[in-house]
């Protein structure tokens, strides 16, 4: 085997950001390096997890309607990107969906759909255009009590990108794969001198794959309705919310995005899920022509961005 050239992989699995994260790196010193990279996920969790009451983002949420809060460059950067996408998608992606997404998180634990009235109330606090950012001193302000940031659609992708950047700084480390619960990031190709092969989970037959694609460097991020959901009266209620209705987005089973940028892939997978097939594909073509996507619609039919199959060796 060619692995002899680069040594055996170091591998570590941790639990952070509400998911299992596996890091694998090949090259001298990879053991220590992946420990360091794994810490990135706990760091970002402590900054951006709204279910951790001491996180930076929780501080911003707690100060809603009162004052601006200074945050780290990381948190500020993710908020900025998330808001940019909110403007670009006219709110289909909405990082201020917290008042509503928290209701659904609770609903999932109770397996009980929230009252329509509760959802209507919560929706009044989701206007992302009201967020006040100050980039010179990195402060963030939610001007109304009841507004809640939720960066759950971007934080994992951001962390995975940052973790791989850290590993790439080690010149001895030649090949890396990080899988953070459906957010896959790779670097340097497979040690057998071929691209990495990344399989995408079938949204309805979870033990089977939808297909496999090949990339050397970059990210593949999937958002689906099949991992966090509950059923009530034959309806599936999942965790990706259409901010226009306050209910789980309809018409899509999963969206996988392929991009050189991990956070961008995470942001776009959630955004395109909400936009749906036709608007989602048109949106990507207009604003992100470099990005690849595989969509599974509500009937299980597969849609792809032009040239996807050839470009990524999709099988």
CA-wise closest residue to 163 among 305, 300, 4, 24: 24
48 lies in the site for ligand ADP, by CB under 6 A:
no
Site string for ligand ADP, 258-297 (x = CB under 6 A): --------x--xx---x-----------------------
Binder to ligand ADP among 76, 93, 158, 288 (CB under 6 A)?
Answer: 93
95 lies in the site for ligand ADP, by CB under 6 A:
yes
94 makes contact, choosing from ligand ADP, Mg ion, none, with CB < 5 to 8 Å by partner type, with ligand ADP
191 makes contact, choosing from ligand ADP, Mg ion, none, with CB < 5 to 8 Å by partner type, with none
225 lies in the site for ligand ADP, by CB under 6 A:
no
The SS3 of residue 237 is strand
Tokens of 56: 């930076």
Binder to Mg ion among 269, 288, 292, 295 (CB under 5 A)?
Answer: 269
Q: Supply φ then ψ for residue 281, to 5 degrees.
A: -70, -35
Instruction: Name the residue nearer to ligand ADP (CB basis): 27 or 246.
Output: 246
CA separation for the pair 72, 93 (Å, rounded): 23
56 lies in the site for Mg ion, by CB under 5 A:
no
DSSP states of 84-100 as a string?
HHHHHTTTSS-TT-HHH
Q: Give the nearest distance from C-beta 170 to ligand ADP in angstroms.
A: 27
Per CB under 6 A, contacts with ligand ADP among 182-201 are: 182
CB within 8 Å of 117: residues ≥ 6 apart: none
Tokens 């009841």 appear where? Answer: 146
150 lies in the site for ligand ADP, by CB under 6 A:
yes
Tokens of 36: 């360091």
Cα pseudo-dihedral 298, 303, 304, 310, rounded to 10: 130
240 makes contact, choosing from ligand ADP, Mg ion, none, with CB < 5 to 8 Å by partner type, with ligand ADP
Binder to Mg ion among 266, 274, 283, 294 (CB under 5 A)?
Answer: 266
Q: Give the nearest distance from C-beta 158 to ligand ADP in angstroms.
A: 11
CA-wise closest residue to 269 among 256, 281, 278, 259: 256
For Cα atoms 21, 113, 204, give the angle at the middle one, nearest 5 degrees.
Answer: 50
Binding site for ligand ADP (CB under 6 A): 93-95, 97, 101, 150, 152-153, 156, 182, 223, 227-228, 239-241, 243, 266, 269-270, 274
């Amino acid at each position: 085997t060619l692995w002899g050239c680069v040594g055996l992989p170091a591998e570590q699995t941790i639990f952070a950001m509400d998911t299992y994260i596996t890091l694998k790196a090949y090259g001298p010193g990879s053991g220590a390096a992946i420990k360091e990279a794994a810490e990135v996920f706990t760091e970002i969790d402590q900054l951006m997890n709204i279910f951790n009451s001491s996180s930076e983002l929780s501080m911003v949420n707690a100060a809603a309607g009162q004052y601006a809060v200074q945050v780290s460059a990381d948190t500020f950067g993710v908020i900025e990107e998330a808001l940019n996408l909110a403007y670009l998608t006219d709110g289909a992606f909405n990082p201020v969906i917290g008042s509503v997404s928290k209701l659904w998180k609770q609903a999932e634990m109770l397996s009980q759909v929230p009252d329509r009235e509760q959802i209507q109330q919560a929706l009044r606090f989701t206007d992302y255009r009201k967020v006040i950012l100050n980039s010179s001193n990195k402060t963030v302000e939610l001007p109304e009590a009841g507004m809640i940031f939720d960066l759950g659609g971007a934080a994992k992708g951001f962390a995975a990108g940052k973790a791989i950047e850290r590993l790439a700084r080690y010149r001895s480390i030649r090949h890396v794969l990080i899988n953070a619960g459906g957010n896959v990031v790779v670097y340097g190709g497979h040690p057998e001198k071929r691209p990495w092969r990344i399989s995408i989970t079938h949204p309805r037959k979870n033990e089977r794959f939808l297909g496999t694609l090949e990339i050397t460097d970059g990210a593949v991020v999937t958002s689906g309705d099949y991992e966090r959901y509950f059923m009530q009266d034959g309806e599936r209620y999942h965790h990706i919310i259409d901010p226009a209705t306050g209910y789980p987005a309809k018409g899509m089973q999963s969206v996988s995005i392929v991009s050189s940028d991990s956070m961008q892939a995470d942001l776009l997978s959630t955004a395109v899920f909400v936009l749906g097939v036709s608007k989602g594909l048109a949106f990507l073509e207009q604003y992100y022509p470099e990005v690849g996507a595989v969509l599974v619609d509500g009937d299980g039919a597969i849609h792809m961005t032009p040239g996807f199959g050839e470009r990524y060796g999709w099988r």
